[in-house]
Structure 1
Amino acid sequence: MDASPPLIGVTLDREPPCPPEQGGYSSFPWYAMRCNYMDAVTMAGGLPVGLAHDAAQAAAVMARLDGLIVTGGAFDISPDLYDGGAPHPTVTTKATRTDAELALVRAALELGRPILGICGGEQLLAVALGGTLIQHIPDAIASPLPHEQPNPRDEAGHEITIVPGTRLAHITRASRMAVNSAHHQAVATPGRAIVSAVAADGVIEAVELPGHPFCIGVQWHPEFGISTGDRLLFRALTDASRHRE
């Protein structure tokens, strides 16, 4: 048996030029990623690698990887991708990143590679599976929870209820979890996926694809590891990636 750690691709964010003299990182476009995404993979026994935004190479990249994490970011999925109508005034997009991540997800689905979508990554996963999104939660949900929580991201913002019998319930060994929250959009319909967790206000907090070796999207940020369930989720992804065919 191969005891080497599975190679987990982690999608990067992309930022426009901002010279250091203006408080930015570089005068040229640059990739970025919070350390805790990579740290969570390493702690779970995986070998993380950052993925550039190149849709044309997505299939070749996924053929080399054992698993995929689609990360979140301060941007939205274009409503053009799910027939969502005109963009809400709050919507901002990153077309190059989204195109690359969609190509990676589709390749991973085709190859049967384990996939974990986080926050915006969950939303993109749902869209890739034929689902739709709520463009702005306050305009669509009556009395919504503060999904853009005011307290620090390494603390819980609200609780979720996990659907019994789902893969998520099996992994986390829980029926409820306290999670952090940093989003203004959410999954409206999950397409071919099923809903595996919801918030008290009805917002979908997790989806998963039955029959796939591991295909789960969560609306919160488990890379902060604020609960046992968060850490178990990364462990389950790593284990599934290690045992893929």
Structure 2
Amino acid sequence: MNEEFTNRMLVVVEVTTARPDRPAYHAKVQVLNSRVVAEAKTAGWSVTRVAAADVTPADLSRLTADADALVIVGGEDITPSYYGGTTGYEGETAHFAIADEGQIALVQRAFALGTPLLGICRGLQIINVALGGTLVQHIDDGIHKNVDVSIDQILSTHDVTLATGSTLASSLGRVDISVQSAHHQIVDRLGAGLVAAAHAPDGLIEALEHDSAPIVGVQWHPEAPDSPADQLALLLAGLAAAHDSRTRVEA
């Protein structure tokens, strides 16, 4: 354990703790979310895990109020009304409007307070929507996720190019990386203050970050078991660095 991080509180915010109608999908999500928690604990963070759909938005705000940093992880599509979209699109999943409301509020509070925030997959999309952006509701090209396969094979491996000079490139130490992703929605219009920080080979945005706040989102899954071993650790270290920088400024 890295004692340097001890006593820093990280809150991992997932969608829900129960999907009785989709056990295979739920099991996959739990593997991914548990890896975020385990990696953070290994790094020395004190970790709290909260499911946004299982509490009210007010309770979610209260439960995360003392966080030194936040990670919003993956899950279902965001309710379209939050970004001006409509239902009935191809590939539509279940929606958890309470989770959407609570997580959007967390992003807006993190921006206002300067709390370091990492969004993973859906978490990136929540960041974008919370800051006024929109989403492309469906892509189905075999690059960003494997199609017509079981849930255990859904993660697609592909290259990503990080923007030179971006926070992500600094955190990961290089601009060309290999990632694993499994998403069918993507950023359309960027939210206020957000800039593209990475692109896939097809030109679609694979990461974003805020131009002044310590907010970063990646569309891929650094917590996937077959992702490069250091990706998640480096991103979590980036959260710690952002927290330390904020603490020095406030002191």
TM-score scaled by length of structure 2: 0.80
Structure 1: unaligned runs, 5 residues or longer: 25-30, 139-143
Equivalent position SS for 1:72: coil
> Does 1:71 pair with 2:73?
yes
Correspondence list, 1:187-206, <5 A = 187-192=187-192, 193-206=194-207
Matched residue type, 1:40: E
Partner in structure 1 of residue 115 of structure 2: 113
Deviations 1:51-93 (A, max 9, x none): 24231134433431111100001x1012211112344142121
The more displaced of 200-209 and 93-102 is 93-102
When you count helix as a share of all residues, which structure comes out higher?
A: 2
Equivalent position SS for 1:50: strand
User: CA 1:153–1:242 in 2, change beyond 3 Å: closer, same or farther?
Assistant: farther
Deviations 1:168-208 (A, max 9, x none): 11111111110001111111122220000010011210000
Q: Distance in 1 between matches of 2:144 and 2:81?
A: 24
Q: How large is the Cα RMSD of the aligned pairs? A: 2.8
> Does 1:35 pair with 2:44?
no
TM-aligned CA deviation for residue 165 of structure 1: 1.1
TM-aligned CA deviation for residue 235 of structure 1: 1.2
Deviations 1:96-143 (A, max 9, x none): 2212211222222222100000001001111111111110013xxxxx
TM-aligned CA deviation for residue 37 of structure 1: 1.4
Q: Distance in 1 between matches of 2:6 and 2:139?
A: 43
TM-aligned CA deviation for residue 155 of structure 1: 7.6
TM-aligned CA deviation for residue 45 of structure 1: 2.8
Equivalent position SS for 1:159: strand
How many pairs align? 229
Identity between Structure 1 and Structure 2 (%): 32
Equivalent position SS for 1:103: helix
CA contact (8 A) 1:137 1:184 kept: yes
Q: Distance in 2 between matches of 1:63 and 1:243?
A: 19
Deviations 1:21-70 (A, max 9, x none): xx89xxxxxx9673201012123331210124231134433431111100
> Does 1:211 pair with 2:208?
no
CA contact (8 A) 2:135 2:185 kept: yes
Structure 2: unaligned runs, 5 residues or longer: none
Partner in structure 2 of residue 27 of structure 1: none
